[in-house]
Chains A and B, each alone.
Chain A
Amino acid sequence: QKEVEQDPGPLSVPEGAIVSLNCTYSNSAFQYFMWYRQYSRKGPELLMYTYSSGNKEDGRFTAQVDKSSKYISLFIRDSQPSDSATYLCAMTKSGNTPLVFGKGTRLSVIA
């Protein structure tokens, strides 16, 4: 079993839809959870950062972490064509240890 599992998609949704992306993990030592957005030929952009369990909201984005289930989610409300990208979940034990990434989910939002 991989440390972090993420459905690679592709996922295609109409504009305005609510998008749900998720990852599961196996290492209970992970404390910091991140979601990155990566456009083609660009570096990943940090979207959401969460410590331990809980919810965090930023504009149209909501991140949820359930450590008891080892499950994290990213919700995108009112999705836009500009949200079309690859979304990577990542997690780590602390800031000076490497991130462990999911494979990334390719999202297309169709106008």
Chain B
Amino acid sequence: GAVVSQHPSWVICKSGTSVKIECRSLDFQATTMFWYRQFPKQSLMLMATSNEGSKATYEQGVEKDKFLINHASLTLSTLTVTSAHPEDSSFYICSASPTLGNEQFFGPGTRLTVL
């Protein structure tokens, strides 16, 4: 149990295009999901906290108009990187916390490369 999936697992796009990443909790409901990015050999950096049915809370320095987060259901959150640039290339990982629980389970990550 407690499986979180992400789609796509990797994506390559041209500069200026938008990319949507999906995060799904497969066997539990998650009121809260989190989005992280991770650069090589570094720890995870929290980008935003996503609560079902409400606006996401962004960390300082994260542009909310560039990284659009939607948490429309208890099992799905999406992150859209708008007008992507090469500096947005990174490993994006989501995590989900069960509505009845305190653990956090991570997805497998999405590797984004912007050319």
A69 near B: Cβ within 8 Å?
no
Q: Which of A32, A43, A90, A102 has the largest number of chain B CB atoms within 10 A?
A: A43
Q: Check if B104 sits within 8 Å of A46, measured CB to CB.
A: yes
- How many positions in chain B have a CB within 8 Å of any CB in the partner chain? 27
Q: Check if A34 sits within 8 Å of B103, measured CB to CB.
A: yes
A16 near B: Cβ within 8 Å?
no
Q: Check if B34 sits within 8 Å of A46, measured CB to CB.
A: no
Interface residues of B in 71-115 (CB under 8 A from A): 91, 93, 95, 97-98, 101-109, 111
B31 near A: Cβ within 8 Å?
yes
Q: Check if B103 sits within 8 Å of A46, measured CB to CB.
A: yes
Q: Interface of chain A, helix or strand or loop or mixed?
A: loop
Residues of A within 8 A of B49 (CB): 97-98
Q: Check if A95 sits within 8 Å of B106, measured CB to CB.
A: no
- Write the chain B residue with the least CB distance to A4: B43
Partner of B43, one of A46, A95, A96, A103: A103
| 8 A–B contacts, CB within 8 A, in A order | A41-B109, A49-B102, A88-B43, A95-B97, A95-B101, A96-B51, A98-B49, A103-B43
Chain B contact residues, CB within 8 Å of chain A: 2, 4, 6, 31-32, 34, 42-44, 46, 49, 51, 91, 93, 95, 97-98, 101-109, 111
Chain A contact residues, CB within 8 Å of chain B: 32, 34, 36, 41-46, 49, 51, 88, 90, 92, 94-99, 101-104
